[in-house]
Amino acid sequence: MSRVLVTGASRGIGQAIARAFAAQGDRVVVHYGSAREDAEDTLNSLAGEGHALVGGNIEDAAERIVHEAVAALGGLDILVNNAAVAPGPGNRHRIDEVSYQDWQRDFAQMVGVGLIGTANVTYCFAQHLIQRGSGGSIVNVGSRGAFRGEPDYPAYGAAKAALHALGQSLAVALAPHNISVTSVAPGFVATDRQAAKLGGVEGENLLNQSPFGRVGTPEEVAAAVLYLSSAEAMWSSGTILDLNGASYLRT
């Protein structure tokens, strides 16, 4: 049985990841930024017992979040960095359309949570493992957009590309401590927040991005995270696993 902290686990991909770990008998800390009610619903849906809830903005409270998670479960073995500011109508910032003030705001928010806050959570988690003298796993939830570009949300693409690079740097630094660091790079995923987009005028184009004629599911991302966090995947440390249904192929 492992003890797992999943950031941004109140809904969508994070919720599916938390449920997948709990279903295999692990104990999970469900982290949320502000949506406590959603996070409580996720917590109550987890199989098994001994799970916990921790809230806070990872930009400001990374150290407290990790300390509370460690205290709640008596230690941590796995960190899944899923928290991010998701692209949406309210933070679209295409450079040839947006004001300078909104450009600055969206970069600060997306990079602040998706990279800086995540880096700080990762630091605190890694220190916990190093001081304990035992190995563990870190899995970052990145994005296909880090490779193909995000013209409408360049801060999101930049934050995810930096997250991938951070993971590879830390994979080398933490290997002597028997800590693996990997990333997944999903394409478009059918979360509840994306239902309107899938059901709208963009829906057909989104489905046709993949030769499978569909988009990904949160459960598919969760399955990949479970594998990469396992002891059997230790030799995969440093990898970035594409999960986009052949909708974007990189070399």
Q: Is 248 a catalytic residue?
A: no
- Which residues contact residue 179 at a Cβ distance below 8 angstroms, ignoring those fewer than 6 apart? 126, 129, 130, 135, 136, 137, 138
Q: Where are the alpha helices (DSSP H) in the chain?
A: 12-23, 36-45, 58-73, 100-111, 118-132, 145-148, 154-174, 195-199, 203-208, 218-228
Q: What tokens does 193 get? A: 């927040």
- What is the rounded distance in angstroms from the CA atom of residue 251 to the CA atom of residue 248? 10
- What is the rounded distance in angstroms from the CA atom of residue 119 to the CA atom of residue 126? 10
Distance of CA 197 to the CA centre of its chain: 21
Contact indicator for 181, 171 with CB cutoff of 8 Å: yes
> Which residue is catalytic, options 100, 156, 227, 248?
156
Contact indicator for 6, 18 with CB cutoff of 8 Å: yes
- What is the rounded distance in angstroms from the CA atom of residue 184 to the CA atom of residue 232? 17
- What is the rounded distance in angstroms from the CA atom of residue 165 to the CA atom of residue 142? 10
Number of other CB atoms surrounding residue 148 within 10 Å: 16
> Catalytic residues, which ones?
156
